[in-house]
Each structure stands twice: as C-alpha cells, then as structure tokens.
Amino acid sequence: MKALSNKFSVIEYFVIAIVIFTATSLYFNDSNLEHKDMELISLTGNIELSTRESMDTFGLQDFTTNARASLNLSVNSLQEIGCKTCPTSTVGTILQGDIIITELYDSENRRGRVEGKLNFTHMYASVETNYIIKEQINFHWVAGDIESSWQLTLNHDPPRWLPKYDISTLFIETELGLETRSGPELLITEPNSEQRIIHACLPESFLCKSTAPDALLVANYGIRHESTQIPEMLEWQKRNTSVYTSTNTTEILTSEVISAENLIPNDVGYTPHLDVALLNVSTYLLDNQLNTIAPLSAWFNAVDLIPIQLDLFGDSVVHLRGNSSNIYNVIGPTGLLKVGLVIY
C-alpha cells in the first residue's frame, strides 16, 4: 500500500492547493443548512503548512515545514457568455486574493516571510445535468520571484456522470459539530447563518487532530456579485512528434507515476499551441494496475467541488519537454487526448 501511495503523491501535490483553499466551503449547498439563498463569498484564516507537499506547492522547497499561511480570498462564480445554440454549458468557480506566509526558516535557521497572490479556477463543460465532457483547472501563485503555474485539462468520452452524492455518507454530526468519518480530520461549527468555522487537518499530517488543527478557517456567506465571464478553455492541438528525440525522463512527475523502463515508440502528442518549441518527446506505457486515480476525492466531495478523476487503464503517458514548460498527455487507446497538463 505504501508503494501505491507514493505513486499518487505527485498527483496530490498538484491538487493539494485546491484542498487547502476550498476547505472552508464545506456543506454550503446542503439543503439541511440555512444557506439556501446565500453562497460562499470569502475565505479567511490561517493554515500551518505542516507537510512537505503543502510547502512545495508554493515553491518553498528551500524552507522547512510548518510555515504559517494567512489567507484572505474572495470567491466568485464563472459563467460563459450566453449562447443559445452552443451544445455545452460551461461554468466554474474562481478563488483569488492575498496570502502572507510567515515563520519561514531555511537550512541555516534564518527566518523570512513572503507576500503573494493566488488565482485558482475550476471550469467544466456539461452536455446536460450531471454529465461533464471537459474540465480545466488553472493554478497560479506568485510571490516576488517565487511563482508556480499549471493548467490541467480533462476530456471525458463518454461523458463523466456526476450524480448528487449524499453528504451524510462523508460526515457525521457529533457533540462538537460536523466531523469527517475518516481522515484527514475536519470539524465544522456554525456560529450564525452567515459564517462557518472550520478546524482542518492537511492530508498526510498524521499527528494532526481537529482539536489541534493545521488550519483554522472562516467561511463567510452572502449574495455573490454577478458571475465573472468564463476564461477561454485551452484548445489542445495534435502534433507529429516523430522528429523529436525520445529519452528516458528524469523529471519527477513522470518518474513517480510511470515506470521509466516502459518507454515505447509513438509519433503523436498534444500541446496547447502548435507553436510550442519542443526539445524532446518521450512516451511511456502505463502500468495496467493504475486504472483510476481519484486523489483526495472525499475532500472535493466535501467542499461540493467536482473531484478530479484520472482514468489511466491501458493508456500511455507522453512527456513533451519545451524551453519554458513541461507538457504531459495521457492518451487513450484510440489516440485521443484524455488528460493534458502543462507546467510553466
């Protein structure tokens, strides 16, 4: 089980920021609560970055864990401009605002701080209710010369069915408040109808308890402003990769997810733009045992966001290395793009 968990750790690295910054929206669509006419409008609070993954997400690889992040984020909905003839409906959510990270200690025990801005969006296109054909997740964090940016596209064919889940299967009411049935621990209290307080533990923070949490966050509810216009989703273009050198990768992401011995010939890859300058392209056959990865799905369900699910059975991974970015494809047996990830 430990070996399997390690293969998934890098995928969780890319979604942990979503977990951190959306944990405060728990339950806000639950019909049993009083927020029927209100939506999440802001998130404030403090998070102790107690895990290596949470530090690395913000580009803080050179600092020890347990830095403290203070956040002040606004939340708004995304909506595409009206199109009566469009075959799909595209909506989403945007979280953006300021984050101050203090208690930063380097290898020489020198203390520092950074002030940065986060912009996170999750968009999805539906053909009808509960059937999604495409998702895109954008993450951008910048603080001085520290910057982290990536975009993830998921194509679903056939469409992904997302029925309404029963929140009671994930959480249980206790004397202290609403708690998770299994880890990581979360405790939700509600002092009034417009505010909710969350005590939360980060994934892999094994010593954390909701009574002494990694995060103390406040979710504020009210009437949202008019929806922001949806940004344009990435359009991935098919490329002939036969002219590029194929070599075993030493890049961390692919080496964690696939076996470098499974290098296979392939002449097709996908990039967000046709003019992306590529240095080399390598293709790997995925281990058939890795059929589906759904990292932190319980957390996404808990915050009423769509959980990420990567279907990898029988597919190949293509790593396209460029001058200023790393691009990854998961390609299905028919040669169509299933997953596209670009890291800048």
Q: What is the pLDDT of residues 97-152, one digit of tens each?
A: 999 999 999 888 999 888 999 998 989 898 877 899 999 999 998 988 878 889 99
The CA angle 23-65-253, to the nearest 5 degrees, is: 75
d(Cα 288, Cα 292) in Å, to the nearest integer? 10
Residue 88 contacts residue 80 (beta carbons within 8 Å): no
Answer yes or no: is pLDDT of 223 > 50. yes
d(Cα 203, Cα 178) in Å, to the nearest integer? 18
- Of 269, 288, 290, 289, the closest CA to residue 280 belongs to 269
d(Cα 184, Cα 208) in Å, to the nearest integer? 8
Q: Is the peptide bond before 158 cis (omega within 30 degrees of 0)?
A: yes
pLDDT of residue 140: 92
pLDDT of residue 26: 35
